[in-house]
Amino acid sequence: MTAASPTASPARYGGPWLVLVTVMVGTLLIGLDRTVVNLAVPKIISDFGITVTTAAWIATAYIISNAVFVPVFGKLGDLFGNRIIYLWSFVGFIIISLLAGLSWNFASLVAFRFIQGFVGAAVYPTAMSLIAKSFTDTKARAQALGIWSSSFAVSAVIGPLLGGYLVDNFTWRAVFYINLPIGIVGLLMTLMFIAPDRPEEHGAFDWFGSVLLAGAISSMVLVLDQGQIWGWFSAPSILLYVATILFGVLVYWWETRHTHPIIDFAMFRNPTIASVLAVSFVSFGGLMGAMFLLPIFTQTFLGYDATQSGLLLVPMALALPIFAPLGARLSYLFHPRYTVSFGMALAALGLYLLHTLDPAMTSADFILPLVLFGAGLGLGMAPLTNASTTAVPLHQVGMSSGLLNLTRNIGGAFGIALFGTLLANATNTNVLLVAQHSQVLGTTSRVLSEAAQLIVMKADLLAYGTVFAYAAFATLAGGLIALVFLRRGDHTEEVSPELKAEAMAGG
């Protein structure tokens, strides 16, 4: 298999930096959609007359389909060209967003959210591959991937701000309609600035393998998403554990025998890829877990509304895009393992500073921890993303990027599930400890009731501190993994003189 040259000269379209800006629009759009919808859930519950538990399927349907199809679209990009997959994902996302806004009942909304996750899954792996192909200079590519990777977390911060405004001033349907103008801009930019590319690989698509993989991933993500509600050892959870293992074994058996697998398990023997996936799993678990719990804390104990909680995360959103390019540059001055491990240590310090959460805190008290957390993730994300593209040949970049984004998705789902469970368990444990060390001055029913409420509140507050301390330890462990195991991605691939000339013409 050899890399093919693009079908059209990049000079007719845009330079590599315009390609980066274009794919960042798509990345931000998909990222925003994952977070902005959450703020509309209360009004959706009111409009459709459903329970909170039922409403959770709005997010679950999206998360499952998105996680399932990320590696599939990564492979399709390698087989059919990344630009065409990226382009049609935009078209599909615009249409489905309109239909989601027009949903006539809850079942139709869940169905459209599932399809949204499906079409949105194409953006991440194809965007990463398009950047890797457009930047022939390795240093510039590392910086570009660093800037692009920061857009994941930035979208998670902007989402609550935008969603809060739309829901408060318009209808919940506006959180879907806002995708239309952004999507149309991204679609036009794609047509103008991204040159068509030929497939990097030729062969039949592994349909049966994709079905098996869908079974494994959907079972895993579903139990991570719903396990705390059902009970981790309930019958549905145990059934999904068994399904995950069974499908996982079948995936390995099938994929190791297929000539064009969705996931090439030989990649896991690549020390660079293996370490990148391990650190990415830990870092995104900490990122999504922290951003899941912090708004709950501020709204519960500080009395913030959704918009104020979103504003609280702005320092992190500003730190990420600033430090991501710096992380890319430092990874060339020093070995990437040092940049990544230092970044993870910095992020761990930011999380640890949050273990002293207190109801008397002001918004200013969150600035330093969140800046450190965002700066650390920014420093670590860029070298990790770059290593995942340079450690494999060009025809496997789509597969590698799909695997990286799948790992981030599962890491995020695992982080939210773990943080939520730890919080509940720590609260239950702390209730007994606080009660044993408390003295109630009075025996009336009113005094005893108020004392019980204060004990639970104190226990809950201590539990947040415990969870953030655990999160800091886990993030630091990710940095140690990078320090010991991360290797510099040094795969080089011969590029034809024609492709070099076209790359130079394109900027």
322-344 pLDDT, tens per residue? 888 888 788 778 888 898 899 99
The Cα 40–Cα 174 span in angstroms is 9
Across 49-58, 341-350, 430-439, 474-483, least confident range: 430-439
Cα–Cα nearest to 141, from 408, 432, 386, 415: 386
The DSSP letter of residue 10 is G
Per-residue pLDDT at 501 exceeds 50: no
The DSSP letter of residue 82 is H
3-class DSSP state of 359: coil
Q: What is the dihedral of CA 275, 292, 322, 357, to 10 degrees?
A: -110
The Cα 30–Cα 26 span in angstroms is 6
In this prediction, residues 56-75 reach a mean pLDDT of 82
In this prediction, residues 287-314 reach a mean pLDDT of 76
pLDDT at 451: 61
Is residue 394 within 8 Å of 3, Cβ to Cβ?
yes
Per-residue pLDDT at 60 exceeds 90: no
In this prediction, residues 271-298 reach a mean pLDDT of 81
CA angle 475, 33, 409 (to 5 degrees): 35
pLDDT at 437: 57
The topology under which CATH files domain 10-205+260-505 is Growth Hormone; Chain: A; (1.20.1250)
Confidence label for 440 from pLDDT (cuts 50, 70 and 90): low
Per-residue pLDDT at 320 exceeds 70: yes
Q: What is the pLDDT of residues 211-255, one digit of tens each?
A: 888 888 888 888 887 887 888 889 999 999 999 999 999 999 998
pLDDT at 343: 92
pLDDT at 368: 92
**Residue written as token pair 């079409």:** 119
Is residue 129 within 8 Å of 404, Cβ to Cβ?
no
The Cα 366–Cα 364 span in angstroms is 5
Q: What is the mean pLDDT of the chain?
A: 80
The Cα 482–Cα 499 span in angstroms is 34
pLDDT at 5: 41
pLDDT at 202: 65
In this prediction, residues 457-481 reach a mean pLDDT of 83
Cα–Cα nearest to 299, from 25, 39, 12: 39
Confidence label for 442 from pLDDT (cuts 50, 70 and 90): low
pLDDT at 103: 92
User: Which of the pair, 325 or 52, is modelled with greater confidence?
Assistant: 325
Could you give the percent of the chain with pLDDT greater than 90? 13
Per-residue pLDDT at 16 exceeds 70: yes
Is residue 316 within 8 Å of 155, Cβ to Cβ?
no
Token pair, residue 298, equals: 């501020």
Is residue 147 within 8 Å of 324, Cβ to Cβ?
yes
